[in-house]
A and B are shown apart, each in its own frame.
Chain A
Amino acid sequence: MQSLKHLVTGYIEIELESANVERFLNLCAKQEIEIWNFKRKEKRNLCYITRDGLKRSESLRKKTHTNIHIIRKAGLPFFLCKYRKRKLFVLGFCLCLCLLFGLSQFVWEINVSGNVSYTKEDIIKYVERNHVSLGTLKMKVDCSDLEEELRVNYDEIAWVSCSLNGCRLSIHMKETLDKNTKNNASKPCDLVASKSGVITSIVTQNGTPLVQKGDKVKKGDTLITGNIYIYSDSNEVLETHKEIAEGTIRAKTRASYECSFLRSYYKKEYKKRKSYTYAAYICGKRIPLMPGIRQTEGMDQMTEEYPLKIGKTFFLPLYIEKTTTRRFDTVKQEYGKQEAYKKAQKKIQKKIREFEKKGMKVISNHIEIRVNDRKCEAKGFFILEEPIGKIRAIKDLSKEQENQLKPTEEVTW
């Protein structure tokens, strides 16, 4: 820190010549003149002194009969003094600062995070087309307006926040992935079966249950009705309340599965040699830095973009594009019988993992894998346990269902 201060204020390396250097040093210390790195080297007294200190030590120098020889001057004031005639350099430096300041007033990068079902490119394209294109003045960007627009245009966005960090517009969002939130109704409704199956558990939070554990249900059957009946002593309906039916119903269902693939396939065998080509993007315009390679058959190309930035957030309107080209030969190969069987099994396992991710439980699978000379086939079905409740506008019950709900015994007081 101290050395930084010395660099900014300027310092001088000096040589002292005196019969009594110690006296000069003592007087300087009393006058609070900063002297550092004092050393005696081959009868020479070398030290550093501040620019201001050198001026103030003039009287002390005379008093102690000390001669001061300047060896070296360093620091910002001396640097500026040395190059004071280089006006173009100063002009260029000032222009550079102005340019940096000017460029930092624009948006050069849009970043999207938290998206799941919508792609990053889709959102960036929408934002660039309708609200903030690259190179927009930061002061013109209204983040709350953009948030509102995104919420209106993308139904699945539950929460979105936009902020400007340096030259980057960050969009952070949360999507309504929770299926239950979609099932939230505001009007009275029934819960119906979304699939056919056998009920394994039913927990009613609101409404009247029409099925119980072990019942077979078909797709569309009412499971919990939003109608709540109030009966009189003579078992006649006095009042009917319409409510939002709520509850958790799980059922054993059946999901068929079919998958087949050919035993012969083509594999890419990449050659060791890779070719690289570079291009620059300046304000959206592509400028090739070297001749490009046209993609033909038997060739894979991968393009990477590197944005240039100063620090973490100051993005410049400049990208470097790197294209890697790899050549390959296609080789025909064939899965062995065991190999094909294992691949089919892997696909089944993957399907099971997908079911589990969706909140379904796989009770058993009845899939047969057949491998013949040409292809491998897997066919069968899974037995699953899954939630099957789905909301539907409230419907009146049939006579049969009403009779089923009627109390069988008279209430005796």
Chain B
Amino acid sequence: MLLLSGDVLYGDVLIRTIGNREVEVENFRGIINYDDKKLILQGKRQLIIISGECLVILSYMDNMIRLQGTICDIEFRM
């Protein structure tokens, strides 16, 4: 049986954090809302809510986003 990861099989989002200073999110559909305290992303099946302080979008290309700031919380909402 092939062992494939969730992002390939089910289109799950991939989240990578560097401490609480930086977050990289891949495999999402788009930005729903953004301000300097909250970023809401649309995943395939759920919303990803990243909250923190002084959030800055370092780069946003195709389906990958890099966010910098003081990250407090990463939440998934169906």
Could you list which residues of chain A lie within 8 angstroms of chain B, going by C-beta atoms? 21-22, 25-26, 28-30, 32, 34-41, 47
Closest to B36 in A: A40
Query: Within 8 Å of chain A (Cβ to Cβ): is B56?
Result: yes
Which of B10-18, B27-35, B43-51, B70-78 sits within the interface?
B27-35
A38 touches B57 (CB 8 A): yes
Closest to A43 in B: B35
Query: When A37-B57, A39-B56 are in contact, do A26 and B36 touch as well, CB less than 8 Å?
Result: no
Q: Which residues on B sit within 8 Å (CB–CB) of A28?
A: 60
Closest 6 CB pairs of A and B: A38-B57, A26-B30, A39-B56, A22-B31, A36-B59, A40-B36
Can you list 7 A-B pairs, Cβ within 8 angstroms, ordered by A?
A: A29-B60, A35-B57, A36-B57, A36-B59, A37-B57, A39-B56, A40-B35
A26 touches B31 (CB 8 A): yes
B61 touches A32 (CB 8 A): yes
A26 to B62, CA, bound (A): 8
A35 to B59, CA, bound (A): 6
Q: Which residues on B sit within 8 Å (CB–CB) of A30?
A: 62
Closest to A27 in B: B30
CB proximity of B36 to chain A, nearest CB, Å: 5
A38 in complex: contacting residue of B30, B32, B60, CB < 8 Å: B60
Closest to B63 in A: A29
CB proximity of A262 to chain B, nearest CB, Å: 77
CB proximity of A34 to chain B, nearest CB, Å: 7
Q: Which residues on B sit within 8 Å (CB–CB) of A36?
A: 57-60
Query: When A30-B62, A34-B61, A38-B56 are in contact, do A25 and B36 touch as well, CB less than 8 Å?
Result: no
CB proximity of B62 to chain A, nearest CB, Å: 6
Chain B at the A interface: mostly helix, strand, loop or mixed? strand
Closest to B66 in A: A36
A41 touches B36 (CB 8 A): yes
B34 touches A29 (CB 8 A): no
B31 touches A25 (CB 8 A): yes
Q: Which residues on A sit within 8 Å (CB–CB) of B35?
A: 40
Closest to A30 in B: B62
A8 to B18, CA, bound (A): 29
Closest to A34 in B: B61
Q: Which residues on A sit within 8 Å (CB–CB) of B62?
A: 29-30, 32
A47 to B31, CA, bound (A): 16
A329 to B40, CA, bound (A): 84
CB proximity of B14 to chain A, nearest CB, Å: 16
B33 touches A22 (CB 8 A): yes
A380 to B24, CA, bound (A): 87
A22 to B57, CA, bound (A): 12
Q: Which residues on B sit within 8 Å (CB–CB) of A25?
A: 31, 34, 57, 60
B32 touches A22 (CB 8 A): yes
A39 to B36, CA, bound (A): 7
A37 to B25, CA, bound (A): 16
Closest to A28 in B: B60
A247 to B34, CA, bound (A): 92
B34 in complex: contacting residue of A21, A32, A34, CB < 8 Å: A21
Using A22-B30, A25-B60, A35-B57 as known contacts, list a sample of 9 further A-B pairs with CB atoms less than 8 Å apart, ordered by residue number in A: A26-B31, A28-B60, A29-B30, A29-B63, A36-B57, A36-B58, A39-B57, A40-B34, A47-B57
A166 to B28, CA, bound (A): 54
Closest to B37 in A: A40
Query: When A22-B31, A38-B56, A39-B56 are in contact, do A29 and B61 touch as well, CB less than 8 Å?
Result: yes
Q: Which residues on A sit within 8 Å (CB–CB) of B57?
A: 25, 35-39, 47
